[in-house]
Amino acid sequence: MITIFGPVPSRRLGRSLGIDVVPPKTCSYDCVYCESGPTTHLTVKRQAFVDPDQVLDDLLAYFRDFPDSADVLTFSSAGEPTLYEPLGELILEIKKHFQMLPLVVLTNGSLLWDAKVREALLAADRVVPSLDAVTEEVFRSLNRPHPSLDLGVILEGLKAFRKDYRGQFHLEVMLVSGFNDQPEELRKLRVIIDCLHPDQVELNTVVRPPADPCCRGLSSAEMEAVRQFFPAGSTEIIGRFKGFRGIERDLNTDQRVLDMVRRRPCTVEEMVASLGVPQEDLQATLADLL
């Protein structure tokens, strides 16, 4: 199992070197908007899918070849990172070896009711749970959770984690047209957000092909209109990636392209920015791979 990928051009984080410790589409949700496609292994069982030492070896090898090529290390994958049982142990080891790089965990937040999961995340520099719905009907239709998950318990888990966590606590809200963009749902969502006091609320919407092809994102005007329901001064609308300096071109471009798109769909422009490869060369590579 390949445990790192990228750097991915992140709209939030810059050059984000992904850490992937969960097999593809192993998740506790089957969200209609997921850019990685439908969940194939819907589960809440935590497992050691990969040896933590392998992850460390992969990171050390990568930075030997590409020093100063990433701005942040991010647990993000085509699945839910908190399903990885040795997550806390691995985070502590990574922080020992890469003290200068912020470590971020992107999670759907569904397992924060588990005290072991909350403890595992305490050493991360930033944790970004998702919270798309706070009413049962919207939650079930939008996030399509594992049958054992209870929305009330999930919300209590978020509150418990916020109480103990001392790092940067951001909350991502994925807005999907016809699901959670109605005023009634947004007002109820705001009540919970005010209880959580996140350092920042990140409003996102569907910008890449979703699991459900009928799923539609909000336009720029619609996103601006719903901003009023969220805390002023600490709410950011996440826009499309703008591009930045890429890393030096290398001889493994084909494999890196495959690793990137296998986990996270990207446009040609995003891959150009991340890999530091001229667009015409990347298009040639894609043509060869296809």
Give how far Cα 284 sits from Cα of 161, 250, 271, Å. Answer: 47, 15, 13
The model carries a pTM of 0.83
Give how far Cα 52 sits from Cα of 2, 4, 21, 226, 279, Å. Answer: 12, 12, 9, 42, 36
pLDDT in tens, the chain (290 residues): 689 999 988 777 889 999 999 999 999 999 999 999 999 999 999 999 999 999 999 999 999 999 999 999 999 878 999 999 999 999 999 999 999 999 999 999 999 999 999 999 999 999 999 999 999 999 999 999 999 999 999 999 999 999 999 999 999 999 999 999 999 999 999 999 999 999 999 999 999 899 999 999 999 999 999 999 999 999 999 854 333 344 444 445 555 555 555 545 555 554 544 444 455 555 555 544 44
